[in-house]
Amino acid sequence: MGIKKIFSITTAVLLITVISAPVGFSKDAKIGCIDSRLVLQNYEKAKNFESEMETFTKQAQSDRQAKIDDLRKLQDEAQIMTGDAKKKKLLELEGKRADLNEYDWKTRQELLNKQNEMFRELTGDINDAVEKIAKKDGYDYIFDTRSIIYKKPEFDLTDEVIKALGKK
């Protein structure tokens, strides 16, 4: 399929979407929006998670530094050795380097997994709070302000969501 054909199809789909979009929004639709960044900044659980991540990172850095110090000590010892003792020490040193590399990889993976888990939990909480407000107050649509260029201030539900999360 050529570039021109792909461009034509994409343009047609975009045009149909733009033309049909107003059909989904009637004058009677109740619309609201939230600033998810502001919600996260004011959500105590997010602050606690951030603190947990900081503690985890500091501990990992401390553990890593201990491993590096051990490597340096082995290097210094190996430099003054000769013969079989030096070969044995160098093998031990290579093993410790491999351990450090494995530790770095596992720590990065664990950090990434923790971040993903926390993000899923926080966004789940926020989505639940938004859904409860939407159902309680009869909203048809609630958008995130990151994708809105202009909004009337009365459509902003950010403070209401922050209050709802504070009650959890």
**pLDDT over 90 for what percent of the chain?**
61
- What pLDDT band is residue 168 in, cutting at 50, 70 and 90? low
**Count of CB atoms within 10 A of residue 75's CB?**
14
pLDDT of residue 126: 94
Q: What is the pLDDT of residues 110-126, one digit of tens each?
A: 999 999 999 999 999 99
DSSP string, 125-144: HHHHHHHHHHHHHT-SEEEE
pLDDT of residue 20: 43
pLDDT of residue 157: 86
Both tokens assigned to 7: 């461009």
Q: What is the pLDDT of residues 141-162, one digit of tens each?
A: 999 988 887 778 888 888 889 8
Q: What is the pLDDT of residues 60-102, one digit of tens each?
A: 999 999 999 999 999 999 888 889 998 999 999 999 999 999 9
pLDDT of residue 16: 40
DSSP string, 139-166: -SEEEEGGG-S---GGGB-HHHHHHHHH
d(CA 143, CA 152): 13
Q: What domains can you pick out in the chain, each with its CATH number?
A: 28-166 (3.30.910.20)
pLDDT of residue 107: 97
To 5 degrees, how large is the angle CA 133–CA 31–CA 120?
50
More confident residue, 11 or 36: 36
DSSP string, 76-107: HHHHT--HHHHHHHHHHHHHHHHHHHHHHHHH
Q: How large is the angle between the packed helices 44-79 and 158-166, nearest 10 degrees?
A: 70
